[in-house]
Amino acid sequence: MTLSEEDGKLYYRLWLPLLDFVNKKYDIIRRIVCVVTENNLHMQEVKTISDKLYDNIGLIDEYLALHSELSEEHKAIILGFKNFVRGDFLLERHLKKGSVMINTENQKVYLVSGIVSSFEELFFTFPMPLLIKATLLPFKDVIITDGLFAPYAMNIGSNLKKQFKDIYTEAKAEGEIISDLNKGVVR
């Protein structure tokens, strides 16, 4: 599953100016005059900027204070980014409603949508399950990544596959699959 084309564009319309604010405030990547209009963005550079944001998540409040022109809906979406979850996830399976990602640290199970492409499309050549480093973000009523994720080059053994399959099965049976990071979470 992916966001609608309109919501995918909206995500980037909200996300890139926020990263531009962080980049300018800390002078992280000097060659980038404006993240929004830069035609040659390197993912590692964008990751460096986004890591600075996640390490200083209060920057979102500072950014919103400077941008009173944003609609209430857009402010709420950006404010929701404070409820990010960053870490290593096992991409366990793909469902019609999204892909199942299990946090390797606490075994929480998330249902995650792609922004423009589904994870099934992005990782169709990779053996499943797949270990990836990612940051999950709330967007409206679903969970997405920030678009900056990296698979680990490793094969998952059968014992570990079964362990994570059991984690998913139990979470499903208990109704504990997380599909909205904004519900009951405040930073």
DSSP notation for 140-181: TTEEEE-S--EE-S-PPPHHHHHHHHHHHHHHHHHT-EE--T
**Domains within the chain, CATH numbers bracketed:** 5-82 (no CATH), 83-178 (2.40.50)
- pLDDT value of residue 186: 38
- What is the model's pTM? 0.94
75-115: pLDDT as tens digits: 999 999 999 999 999 999 999 999 999 999 999 999 999 99
**Mean predicted confidence (pLDDT) in 28-56:** 94
Cβ atoms of 46 and 19 within 8 Å: the answer is: yes
